[in-house]
């Protein structure tokens, strides 16, 4: 109940933030721009529209999660609104989870809006509702939840600018970490290989949530791959949230 109250207040605060609408506007522009891009490119126009549209959803969703998530806790401490909240009978983890769910709810609504624009655009070209796209969008949502938890973690001990840089780095590394797997295969055994193996297991692999190509190309995906991605998303998000709680519960609000 207390988490719900904080989550709804966070949601109310977030949907009044202008940056959210700016990003939503650019996301809409990018999705619609995919139509123009399809005209200029050789190949299946529909696939280009779907590819660019889904990528826009993922990129702008991540930007929303990072730019808003990194200010979540910092703003409360900076503006001292946290003083009157923490002095109430509330545990610090409840506050943090409330913030997390509030932003996740905001991102969910934003993703719905962006998806609506995207699916309408696809519908005008195929004249059918592509339900398969919803699976790709669902996994984008899982990715956004994980990015939100990371942004929240950095927000617990750092300024919004630094937290944004760290979270953006997490996003970029997460989408390129698969390169380490190739590296492990190529380098000879030794310290370098061990280090690469450590990094491969430690760094996030956000490609686990990327089913865009498979779904656009109508490729078969085994159900255990979906299951693995869902569990990976849930456990990684939980892990990051637990670290955030551990840091936050020891923090002095000066």
Partner 1 sequence: MATVLKIENLHKSFTLGFLLKKKEILRGISLSVEQGEVFGYLGPNGAGKTTTIKCILGLIFPEKGNIEIFGHPYLSPKAKEKTGFLPENPYFYDHLTASEFLDYYSQLFLMKKEAKEKKIKSLLRLVDLEKSADLQLRKFSRGMLQRIGMAQALLNDPSLVFLDEPLGGLDPLGRKEIRDIITRLKDEGKTVFLSSHILQDIEMICTRVAIIVNGEIISQGALHDLISEKILFTEVILSGVNDKELKELGECISGHGERTLLKVFKEENVEKVLQLAHSSKGKVHSLIPRTETLEDLFVGIVKQR
Contact flag: residue 252 with partner 1 (CB under 8 A)? yes
Our finding on whether 128 is near partner 1 (CB under 8 A) is no
What is the size of the binding site for partner 1 (CB under 8 A)? 26
When binding is defined by CB under 8 A, the residue of 37, 46, 59, 90 that contacts partner 1 is 90
Q: What sign does the CA torsion over 29, 11, 156, 160 have?
A: positive
Residue 87 sits in the site that holds partner 1 (CB under 8 A)? yes
Among 24, 46, 86, 138, binds partner 1 (CB under 8 A): 86
Residue 253 in the binding site for partner 1 (CB under 8 A): yes
Stretch that binds partner 1, among 2-10, 59-67, 135-143, 188-196 (CB under 8 A): 2-10
Residue 11 CB, nearest approach to partner 1 (Å): 11
Smallest distance, Å, CB 143 to partner 1?
A: 28
Does residue 201 interact with partner 1 by CB under 8 A?
Answer: no
State the residues that interact with partner 1 by CB under 8 A: 1-2, 4-6, 9, 12-13, 16, 79-91, 250, 252-254
């Amino acid at each position: 109940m207390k988490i719900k109250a904080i989550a709804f207040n966070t949601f109310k605060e977030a949907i009044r933030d202008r940056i959210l609408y700016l990003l939503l506007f650019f996301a809409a522009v990018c999705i619609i721009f995919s139509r123009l891009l399809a005209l200029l490119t050789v190949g299946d126009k529909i696939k280009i529209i779907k590819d660019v549209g889904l990528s826009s959803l993922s990129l702008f969703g991540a930007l929303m999660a990072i730019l808003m998530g990194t200010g979540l806790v910092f703003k409360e401490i900076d503006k001292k609104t946290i003083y009157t909240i923490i002095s109430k009978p509330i545990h610090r983890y409840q506050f943090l989870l409330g913030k997390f769910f509030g932003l996740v709810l905001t991102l969910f609504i934003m993703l719905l809006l962006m998806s609506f624009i995207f699916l309408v655009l696809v519908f005008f070209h195929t004249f059918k509702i592509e339900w398969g796209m919803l699976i790709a969008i669902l996994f984008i949502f899982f990715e956004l939840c994980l990015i939100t938890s990371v942004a929240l973690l950095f927000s617990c001990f750092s300024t919004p600018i630094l937290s944004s840089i760290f979270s953006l780095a997490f996003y970029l590394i997460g989408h390129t970490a698969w390169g380490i797997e190739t590296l492990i295969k190529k380098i000879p055994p030794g310290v370098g290989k061990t280090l690469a193996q450590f990094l491969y297991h430690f760094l996030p692999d956000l490609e686990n949530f990327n089913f865009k190509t498979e779904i656009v190309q109508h490729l078969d995906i085994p159900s255990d791959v979906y299951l693995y991605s869902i569990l990976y998303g849930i456990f990684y998000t939980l892990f990051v949230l637990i670290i955030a709680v551990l840091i936050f519960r020891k923090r002095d609000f000066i």
